[in-house]
Amino acid sequence: MHILHVVGARPNFMKAAPVLRAITNHGPVRQTLIHTGQHYDSSMSEVFFQQLGMPEPNQNLGVGSGTHAQQTAAIMQALESVLYEYRPTLVVVYGDVNSTLAAALVCSKLLIPVAHVEAGLRSRDRTMPEEINRVVTDRLSDLLFTPSEDADENLKQEGIDRSKIHLVGNVMIDSLMRLLPVAEQRSPQDVTSPYVLVTLHRPSNVDDLPWLQELLTTLSEISSQVQIVFPVHPRTRLALDQIRFTSPAHSRLRLVDPLSYLEFIGLERHAVAVITDSGGIQEETTFLGVPCVTVRENTERPITVSLGTNQLVGHDTGKLSSAIRTILREGFEGNSRKDIRASRIPLWDGHAAERIARILVRCSTG
């Protein structure tokens, strides 16, 4: 039995690490790890492998950046020869990045079964490249591992064979629970509470330069009330250079380099609030009980809104400012720590990868 894992970007690493570990604990299963190189900067890739305790990839395809079509095509072309070489029993893909879609497409042509970890999530916004990746990957996959009941319902409504769907829980929470005690000791020493943590990287926020300028102006204004720490994604850094943004002298908006996984969740754990456009961070803040303000019109993780601490503000800086003022006025402790609702989300318990491993091993041998 030979299971091959395909990862390409930072969100994949947090999902793959516990699955690789759980399969290893299930006995003599050959595992191969292929890194497409979609994220290639050391701050976005190498350090995550180290901190998550992942093995070195068997191969790094080194595809780098490009348009969605260029990147997806480059991954498909490179991965095809890899799959001919390794001939796996089954391929596991993660999340919704271009590497995920590319691997599913190549496997479907080669008649290699595909398992999709984090299946069934839907924003119903086809302008998001990730939404296209999710829908197509789920259509091509043979095993669909879902993080929550709403994902199951999405797949059923789309006519997916129910025998393919397995509700296993959230593997992101597996990594978070395992490493949170270590992360508590790793947050940057020069950041003092209270602070708001910010992450922005989606095209809807960083490619629209006038909107990005307006958003940064609002963040500077909010920083008069509370310190803001903003680790800047490489994609976002390019956009900031284009608009020649510099933080005003009086501002407490701190732009910092990308953080490692441990440093980031250490900061996330103690933030007054998090402002983000990341799906994974919506999940992490829900589990941690940290108020989350999402700068998007929609989310593929609606359970974080209905059962968590997340609220959507869209492209409305007034709503963003109001949300942060409310959080600050009500106080951090009173706002969320006394009501951590993530305990109500079934199977967000740190054991999702174990459930995945049992099913993968059973299906691969059966």
pLDDT attached to residue 260: 87
Contacts 24+ apart (CB under 8 A), 146-149: 146/118, 146/119, 146/120, 147/118, 147/120, 147/121, 147/171, 147/172, 147/283, 147/347, 147/348, 147/352, 148/301, 148/303, 148/345, 148/346, 148/347, 148/348, 149/303, 149/346
Q: Give the single-character DSSP code of 338.
A: T
More confident residue, 171 or 191: 171
CB 294 within 8 A of CB 282: yes
Catalytic residue (one of 2, 201, 270, 315): 201
What Å distances lie between residue 174 and 19, 109, 178, 226, CA to CA? Answer: 9, 32, 6, 31
- Between 27-36, 291-300, 326-335, the lowest mean confidence (pLDDT) is in 326-335
Task: Please check the confidence at residue 44 and state whether its pLDDT lies above 90.
Answer: no
Q: Give the single-character DSSP code of 207.
A: T
pLDDT attached to residue 246: 79
Percentage of the chain exceeding pLDDT 70: 92
The domains of the chain, with CATH numbers, are 2-169+347-365 (3.40.50.2000), 181-344 (3.40.50.2000)
Task: Please check the confidence at residue 97 and state whether its pLDDT lies above 60.
Answer: yes
What are the φ/ψ torsions at residue 44 (nearest 5 degrees)? Answer: -105, -5
As given in the structure block, the two tokens for residue 127 are 């302008």
Q: List residues bridging with 292 in a β-sheet.
A: 274, 310
Mean pLDDT of the region 262-275: 94
d(CA 241, CA 220): 17
Q: Report the chain's mean pLDDT, rounded to a whole number.
A: 90
Task: Please check the confidence at residue 247 and state whether its pLDDT lies above 90.
Answer: no
pTM above 0.85, yes or no: yes
More confident residue, 303 or 235: 303
d(CA 261, CA 44): 9
80 Cβ contact list (under 8 Å, min separation 6) = 106, 110
pLDDT attached to residue 1: 87
pLDDT attached to residue 40: 61
pLDDT attached to residue 187: 67
pLDDT attached to residue 349: 93
**Binning pLDDT at 50, 70 and 90, where does residue 365 land?**
low
d(CA 196, CA 292): 10
85 Cβ contact list (under 8 Å, min separation 6) = none
**Binning pLDDT at 50, 70 and 90, where does residue 275 land?**
very high
β pairing state of 143-146 and 227-231 = unpaired
Q: Does residue 270 have an active-site annotation?
A: no
pLDDT attached to residue 186: 75
pLDDT attached to residue 337: 46
d(CA 239, CA 200): 11
Q: Give the single-character DSSP code of 337.
A: I
**Binning pLDDT at 50, 70 and 90, where does residue 356 land?**
very high
**Binning pLDDT at 50, 70 and 90, where does residue 50 land?**
confident
Other beta carbons less than 10 A from residue 39's beta carbon: 24
CA angle (203 as vertex; 17, 157 as ends), nearest 5: 65
- Residue 11, preceding bond cis, omega within 30 degrees? no
pLDDT attached to residue 96: 96
Handedness of CA 141, 96, 22, 150 (dihedral sign): negative
User: Distance between alpha carbon 276 and the CA centroid of its chain, in Å?
Assistant: 12
Task: Please check the confidence at residue 249 and state whether its pLDDT lies above 80.
Answer: no
pLDDT attached to residue 15: 96
As given in the structure block, the two tokens for residue 171 are 């593997």
Q: Over the stretch 317-344, which tens digit does the pLDDT of each residue have? A: 999 999 999 999 886 444 444 444 445 6
Task: Please check the confidence at residue 42 and state whether its pLDDT lies above 60.
Answer: no
Q: Over the stretch 128-141, which tens digit does the pLDDT of each residue have? A: 999 999 999 999 99
236 Cβ contact list (under 8 Å, min separation 6) = 200, 201, 206
pLDDT attached to residue 164: 97
Mean pLDDT of the region 69-91: 96
More confident residue, 96 or 250: 96
pLDDT attached to residue 196: 97
User: 333, 334, 326, 290: which is closest to 308 by C-alpha?
Assistant: 290
pLDDT attached to residue 98: 94
Cα-Cα end-to-end distance for the chain? 10
